[in-house]
Structure 1
Amino acid sequence: MNATLIAVALSLVSAAAYASAAVAQARLAGRTEPDAGFLRLLGCGAWWSAVGLNAGGALLHVAALKYGPLTLVQPLGALTLVAAVPLGARVAGRRVTGIEWRGTILTLLGLAALLMTTGGTAPHETLSLPEALAVGVATMAVVAGLSRPGARPGLRHAAASGITSGVASALTQTLTVAVTDRTGPLLTWRLVIVALLVSAFAMGGLLLSQTAYRGGLGAPLAVVTLANPVAAAVIGVALLGERLQGGTIGLVPALLGTVAAVRGVILLSRAQAETSALTALDTAGPRGGAGSASRVVAGNRGQLDQPMFGPELGRAPVGGP
């Protein structure tokens, strides 16, 4: 089977797994008491199901990075938002809203345009040790700048989360390709350092996303979802030799697809924020009170964030490491 088809298929299943986990976590957050501790979650079958789906989505995303370029696999992480729309509506017993339909259609059309322009070969180039270290240092400098005190901390932390998650995916691809294609010793300084950088950026992306969502879900979620593939694509094009099909002419459908996908993600993120608020109001009845509303909103804030590697080995943002 063509490597591109394998990468797309794995990305689709990964997005479905992440979306299912997000919906399951949202339902669990709505049923969990405010004072319920982590040990209580360990005895909850629904929580373990969500953990399993998240882990499966992350593994599938890593496998997709083996067969497809970053410019293809990372944008498909936005499908997590698309898949979560009908799943969330079905679980909530409601119909998909007009804004959700528009966001879904625009995202799918945009991703389809990008799919036609991305390279179709399995990745073979990997980052050298100096390149990996340079990427790591540059990423830490950007994150430090975005994390400084100032206005709009939610959006800046969201951008930092998406960037670190995208970089984690790029480094994960280097690690995966190097390990599966090599015939020499498995443990080298390059692979050990890349593995450490992957772990650091994956965890950093998760923590930054949680900080970003303190002020609301909609806009930060859109920023995370979009910054992730952009950061990965920059590394793929600048350092890994990835190119668009069709040369300069291929830029036209790629740019149009990007604009459509960006608009679709923004609409879906806005719809997700509105749905979270409505869920909180419905839950905060005579029995729930204001504390219940706060609990549901807080529980939903971290659900549809881009998978760190995928993507991201935890429930981080939508898209992938």
Structure 2
Amino acid sequence: MNATVIAVALSLVSAAAYAAAAVAQARLAGRTDRDAGVLRLLGRGAWWSAVALNAGGALLHVAALKYGPLTLVQPLGALTLVAAVPLGARAAGRRVTRTEWRGTILTLLGLGALLMTAGGAAPHETLSLPEALAVGAGTMAVVAGLSRPGARPGLRHAAASGITSGVASALTQTLTVSVTDHTGPLLSWRLVVVALLVSAFAMSGLLLSQTAYRGGLGAPLAVVTLANPVAAAAIGLALLGERLQGGTTSLFLALLGTVAAVRGVILLSRAQAQTPAAAGPAGDGPEPGAGPPSRVVIASRGPMDLPTLRPEPDRAPVGGP
């Protein structure tokens, strides 16, 4: 079988696995108390199902990179968004809205334009130990700012998730190239540190996406899908000697792609705000100890912010006991 066909097939299955994992995480987030910690998640079978799907998608993605170049495999990874939006709607028992379709298509077109500007040469350069440590420290600082305590779950956590996942992919490339090209000993302090950073950022990306999906799936997943390749490309351009193709034309195409992707995310955000929260499947009640349901009201913070739900305190009727 042709290597390109194998790469495409593996990428499609990988995207489907990532999409199913995103839907599972979103459903779990909707059924879990917002104050529940990581240990509470570790006790849920649905959480481990999502972890298994993400791990399977990652392994399939790595296998696809063995048969096809990054310029082929990475754009196909954006099909996660195309699969997840209808899967999420089906899980919620509703149809995909026109706004969701428009947002999905614009986001994918923007991502495609951005990824088309990347160089197609096979990777050969790797990060040195100081560079890997600098990338790790910088990523931690950015993620800490985006997901600081008290931040409302949503697009900032999604951006942090996409950044950590993209950095993990870039660091994974250093591991893969070092091992397959035999550019150094198979076991060195550099590779051990890089492997630890990959593990930490991969798990952080998973946990951050779980938090981001509490407010819905479409817009957060779009931000994750956009931030991931942007973070990886930034490391490639700054530290790994990669260059954009086409000069000025490439920069113009990248700008158009950014505008289209941002517009797509805004449309998905609006669709998410207008779509009522989906109830869980039959038999899925609130978490034990979550208390009785409260009435909610929409609290808008501005035209660019998603509405949030906050409890409305019960008021005793005038003259009542």
Give the alignment's TM-score, normalised by structure 2: 0.69
- Matches of 1:226 and 1:195 in 2, distance apart? 24
Displacement, 1:92?
5.0
Q: Which runs of 5+ in 2 are unaligned?
A: 295-321
SS in 1 for 2:164: helix
Name the % identity: 84
Aligned pairs (5 A) from 1:95-114: 95-114=95-114
Report if the CA contact (8 A) 1:217-1:269 is conserved: no
Higher helix proportion: 1
Displacement, 1:11?
3.5
Displacement, 1:258?
2.8
- Matches of 1:293 and 1:153 in 2, distance apart? 20
Displacement, 1:219?
5.3
- Matches of 2:59 and 2:185 in 1, distance apart? 23
Report if the CA contact (8 A) 2:11-2:76 is conserved: yes
> Relative to 1, partners in 2 of residues 1:161 and 1:81: Cα closer, same or farther, differing over 3 Å?
same
Deviation track 1:68-92 (CA, whole Å, cap 9, x = no partner) reads: 44x7755654421211223334455
Amino acid at match of 2:196: L
Report if the CA contact (8 A) 1:72-1:115 is conserved: no
* Equivalence for 1:53: 53
Does residue 204 (structure 1) correspond to residue 207 (structure 2)? The answer is no
Amino acid at match of 2:187: L
Deviation track 1:190-236 (CA, whole Å, cap 9, x = no partner) reads: 11110011112222233334444556666554443332222111101
Q: Which runs of 5+ in 1 are unaligned?
A: 295-321
* Equivalence for 1:192: 192
Higher Cα Rg, which structure: 2
- Matches of 2:127 and 2:178 in 1, distance apart? 9
Deviation track 1:41-82 (CA, whole Å, cap 9, x = no partner) reads: 55xxx877655432210112233455544x775565442121
178-187 or 1-10: which moved more? Answer: 1-10
SS in 2 for 1:56: helix
Amino acid at match of 1:261: A
Report if the CA contact (8 A) 1:4-1:121 is conserved: no
Amino acid at match of 1:139: T
Report if the CA contact (8 A) 1:3-1:122 is conserved: no
- Matches of 1:195 and 1:187 in 2, distance apart? 11
- Matches of 1:284 and 1:273 in 2, distance apart? 26
CA RMSD of aligned residues (A): 4.3
* Equivalence for 2:85: 85
Aligned pairs (5 A) from 1:23-38: 23=23
* Equivalence for 1:16: 16
* Equivalence for 2:161: 161
Report if the CA contact (8 A) 1:65-1:173 is conserved: no
* Equivalence for 1:173: 173
- Matches of 1:21 and 1:206 in 2, distance apart? 10
- Matches of 2:236 and 2:4 in 1, distance apart? 16
* Equivalence for 2:297: none
Report if the CA contact (8 A) 2:223-2:265 is conserved: no
> Relative to 1, partners in 2 of residues 1:217 and 1:147: Cα closer, same or farther, differing over 3 Å?
same
* Equivalence for 2:304: none
SS in 1 for 2:248: coil
Displacement, 1:116?
3.5
> Relative to 1, partners in 2 of residues 1:65 and 1:241: Cα closer, same or farther, differing over 3 Å?
farther
SS in 2 for 1:120: coil
Aligned pairs (5 A) from 1:282-321: none
Report if the CA contact (8 A) 1:162-1:225 is conserved: yes
Does residue 240 (structure 1) correspond to residue 240 (structure 2)? The answer is yes
- Matches of 1:39 and 1:136 in 2, distance apart? 26
* Higher RCO structure (Cα 8 Å, ≥6 apart): 1
- Matches of 2:155 and 2:25 in 1, distance apart? 24
* Equivalence for 1:62: 62
* Equivalence for 1:280: 279
Displacement, 1:269?
5.0
* Equivalence for 1:126: 126
* Equivalence for 2:303: none
Corresponding residue pairs, total: 287
Deviation track 1:88-119 (CA, whole Å, cap 9, x = no partner) reads: 34455543321122123223333343344332
